[in-house]
Structure 1
Amino acid sequence: MLISNMEIVPGKRVREHFGIVQGSTVQSKHVGRDFMASLKNLVGGELTGYTELLEDAREYALERMTSQAEAIGANAVVNVRFSTSAISAGASEILAYGTAVVLDDM
């Protein structure tokens, strides 16, 4: 499955268009990560616990989007985007979405 943030794939032709597919996950802060992040806020720097949490969430959302595209017969998802929103204090949704297509020569 080809995943691209471009609207077209150079050298490929869209043979079939299925429309929007999406995958999402809601992740919450972990007490241990939250505690360590509050300590890190005192001295500055990257909050690696949160970075890892967001990386995992993006991967889950992409996997779910890809599964949806495969289920309808697509071999590619183009124009892929991510969106995030706060669900509640301490929980956020990551959404991956794009256009499911069948590309020639795949």
Structure 2
Amino acid sequence: MAKLPRFGATSEEEDPLVICKFFYPDFSWTWYAIEYDGDDLFYGLVDGYEKELGDFRLSELEENRGKLGLPVERDRYFTPCRFSTLMGSNLAEVDPEDIPF
């Protein structure tokens, strides 16, 4: 996660790269990280009742549990993609050179 862009680094990008995904295996919400403050705070897409951009704290996700009591997980199989892909329009394919790890 240390390789995620710092807060504000992608603010001028039209279609930033989404680096990682957090989810509860027993809950329908998903958090996609675009930027990271290096400590606990992420900026990205929250896909819950609707999709919205905003900040979220990993510590808050870790404090909570899904419907069956399962903890939040980082999706280790998530392939980084462009923001537009998550919003339903495939504007750009990700160049492997753009992935910071």
> Is the shorter-chain TM-score for this pair beyond 0.5, marking a shared fold?
no
Q: TM-score, normalised by structure 2?
A: 0.26
Higher relative contact order structure (alpha carbons within 8 Å, sequence separation ≥ 6):
1
Asked which structure has the greater CA Rg, the reply is 1
Q: TM-score, structure 1 length as denominator?
A: 0.25
The structure that is strand-richer by fraction is 1
Bigger proportion of residues as helix: 1
